[in-house]
């Protein structure tokens, strides 16, 4: 019987009782602890995943007892590293029973957890080079130094105390030995902290099987990551993620920057961003798993010096609100699309309505966040080159479809152009839409409003009358009732005009209200600016 067959047979064993769990645990240790395992990478990865599950189910005392049983020999460096990263009692037993070559010990010890290295100090059968390596890393036995012996480190010498030949007697000598021990431990700990600080893990690659369990990972984290239910539609106990990511995994769709939190070994624990793509068999077309990368999120950007306290607080509130609303939207989409099973039509209809409302709320949060950033100076508008006249024409054309059934009309009258502004077209369209959509939504049936554009020197002026229902909008305590489905935002025209004011100021202009009229001024591109922009465009072409 070949090794592969034995490992596959053990993995197929049904664990119906504690006795079977212990038996399977012992057998996996025997097979995976072989010096040169002949199993395939996938089968070995499945074995490690099952071993991790058993370690989560069996008490530490049972694991330690099995690891210390006569005849069990751990001769594979990979499994020793896997066990050393686990709970304290099994890790101590593994350090006591492992039988590795000198080269394997020398390669393994620097990567062991500090606690696992400490367990090795009780071994008296380690090669001399391994013991020297442990001493260099600051792993020594917990005994008091004898002042009668020449200390191996200068830190053990006490100032003003001559070395004595022979053992000392009395309380004073014992106190000196205790003080020397404390000073030695302090210096060793400080030296190890300075010289052995591992670089934080910023990213690693992984691959999963069809069930979503990790079967391969980058070398540095393979013993820790293999077995995690990282890409399963229902995450394991050690992995936390949002409902949107779970829904995409259930539908076998790619992930792009999805937040994931892992609560496992210190190297893996914390917040990650997951990018992964599904894999399918080239012949059968069957789903075979995911391959992707986990990377740490970028550190938060320090707030700008002129970021006002109120704006900061508002953005923090918005961050706290987005999380539950995003979760509600994700669960609603799961029900609507029946990703986890059939759902009645009535529930799906409710879920669709909830998803729409959540999307509107998130869009509204984006508007509030944009206004907070613009008013505090934390953000600005994207610079570019666009035509305000063309943006206004395009917006009026889009609004005519809503106004025509009511007999209302928006007209454009322009003179003394051109009307080029130093903004990207998307920014210009957004600014014009806020103004015209708010006005169009309040127009009465049969009403006609003329939008006038003109240019004086280096400023472009846009002015228009506003409907009676919006008259004296600045002096009103609340927004007027809405007349139409067309709207520039979910918070009403008063908020929308305030956001437009912030955008106009960010563009270097201003927005004014005069009871029944609104006027906007924005800087125009000068002739030098226009020619420079044209030259840039030709150079890019």
User: In a structure prediction context, what are the per-residue pLDDT tens digits for the chain, which is 541 residues long?
Assistant: 344 567 788 777 776 677 888 888 888 888 888 755 555 677 788 888 888 888 888 888 888 888 888 778 788 888 888 888 888 888 888 888 888 888 888 988 888 887 777 778 777 888 888 888 887 776 554 444 444 443 444 333 433 344 444 444 455 665 566 666 666 666 655 555 444 445 578 888 999 998 888 888 887 788 888 888 888 888 767 888 888 888 888 888 898 888 998 887 778 888 999 999 999 988 888 999 999 999 998 876 554 444 455 666 776 777 777 778 888 888 788 888 887 778 888 888 888 899 888 888 888 777 787 777 777 777 777 888 888 899 888 988 888 888 888 888 888 888 877 888 888 888 888 888 888 888 888 888 888 888 898 888 788 888 888 887 776 555 554 555 554 556 666 677 777 878 888 888 888 888 887 777 888 888 887 654 554 444 444 444 4
How is residue 100 written in tokens? 């590795």
pLDDT for 290 equals 93
Q: Which residue, among 441, 439, 512, has the nearest Cα to 483 in the 3D structure?
A: 441
Residue with tokens 């030695």: 184
Q: What's the pLDDT at 526?
A: 65
Q: Tell me the DSSP string of 212-266.
A: SBEEEE-GGGHHHHTT-B-SSSS--TTEEE-HHHHHHHHTT--EEEEEEEE-SST
Handedness of CA 423, 424, 430, 433 (dihedral sign): positive
Distance, in Å, from the CA atom of 118 to the CA atom of 135, rounded to the nearest integer, reads 11
Closest CA to 429 of 384, 464, 493: 384
Say which residues have a Cβ less than 8 Å from residue 404's Cβ, sequence separation at least 6. none
- The answer to whether the CB of 491 falls within 8 A of the CB of 453 is no
Q: Phi and psi of 284, rounded to 5°?
A: -90, -20
* Phi/psi at 271 (5° precision): -90, 140
How far is Cα 136 from Cα 143, in angstroms, rounded to an integer? 17
Pairing of strands 270-280, 239-241: unpaired
Q: Exposure of 325 by Cβ count < 10 A (0-12 exposed, 13-18 middle, 19+ buried)?
A: middle
Is beta strand 448-456 parallel, antiparallel or unpaired with respect to 409-415?
Answer: parallel
């Amino acid at each position: 019987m070949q090794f592969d067959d034995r490992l596959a047979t053990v993995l197929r064993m049904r664990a119906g009782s504690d006795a079977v769990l212990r038996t399977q645990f012992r057998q996996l240790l025997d097979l995976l602890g072989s010096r040169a395992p002949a199993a395939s990478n996938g089968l070995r990865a499945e074995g490690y995943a099952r071993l991790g599950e058993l370690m989560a189910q069996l008490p530490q005392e049972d694991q330690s007892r099995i690891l210390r049983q006569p005849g069990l020999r751990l001769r594979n460096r990979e499994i020793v590293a896997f066990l050393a990263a686990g709970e304290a009692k099994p890790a101590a037993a593994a350090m006591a029973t492992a039988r590795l070559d000198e080269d394997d010990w020398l390669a393994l010890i620097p990567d062991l957890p500090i606690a696992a290295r400490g367990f090795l100090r009780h071994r008296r059968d380690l090669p001399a080079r391994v013991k020297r390596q442990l001493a260099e890393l600051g792993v020594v036995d917990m005994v008091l130094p004898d002042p009668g012996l020449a200390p191996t480190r200068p830190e053990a010498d006490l100032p003003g105390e001559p070395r004595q030949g022979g053992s000392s007697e009395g309380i004073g000598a014992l106190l000196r030995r205790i003080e020397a021990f404390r000073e030695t431990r302090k210096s060793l700990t400080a030296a190890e902290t300075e010289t052995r600080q591992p670089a934080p893990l910023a990213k690693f690659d992984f691959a999963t099987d069809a069930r979503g369990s990790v079967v391969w990972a980058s070398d540095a984290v393979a013993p820790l990551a293999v077995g995690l239910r990282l890409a399963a539609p229902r995450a394991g106990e050690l992995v936390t993620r949002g409902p949107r990511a779970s829904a995409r995994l259930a539908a076998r769709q790619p992930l792009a920057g999805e937040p994931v939190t892992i609560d496992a070994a210190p190297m893996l624990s914390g917040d990650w961003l997951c990018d992964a793509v599904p894999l399918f068999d080239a012949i059968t077309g069957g789903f075979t798993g995911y391959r992707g990368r986990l990377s740490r999120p970028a550190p938060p950007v320090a707030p700008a010096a002129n970021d006002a306290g109120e704006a900061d607080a508002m953005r923090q509130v918005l961050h706290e609100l987005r999380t539950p609303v995003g979760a509600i939207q994700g669960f609603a989409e799961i029900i609507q699309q029946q990703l986890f099973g059939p759902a009645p039509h009535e529930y799906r209809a409710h879920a669709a309505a909830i998803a729409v409302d959540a999307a509107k709320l998130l869009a509204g949060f984006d508007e509030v966040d944009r206004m907070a950033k613009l008013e505090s100076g934390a953000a600005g508008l994207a610079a570019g080159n666009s035509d305000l006249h063309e943006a206004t024409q395009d917006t009026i054309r889009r609004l005519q479809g809503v106004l025509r059934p009511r007999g209302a009309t928006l007209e454009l009258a322009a003179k003394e152009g051109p009307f080029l502004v130093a903004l990207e077209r998307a920014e210009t369209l957004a600014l014009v839409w806020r103004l015209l959509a708010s006005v169009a939504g309040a127009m009465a049936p049969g009403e006609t409003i003329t939008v006038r554009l003109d240019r004086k020197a280096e400023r472009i002026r846009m002015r228009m009358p506003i409907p009676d229902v919006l008259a004296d909008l600045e002096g009103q305590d609340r927004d007027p009732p809405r007349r139409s489905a067309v709207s520039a935002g979910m918070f009403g025209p008063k908020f929308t005009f305030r956001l437009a004011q912030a955008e106009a100021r960010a563009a270097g202009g201003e927005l004014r209200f005069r009871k029944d009229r609104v006027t906007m001024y924005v800087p125009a591109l000068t002739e030098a600016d226009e020619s420079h922009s044209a030259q840039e465009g030709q150079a890019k072409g």
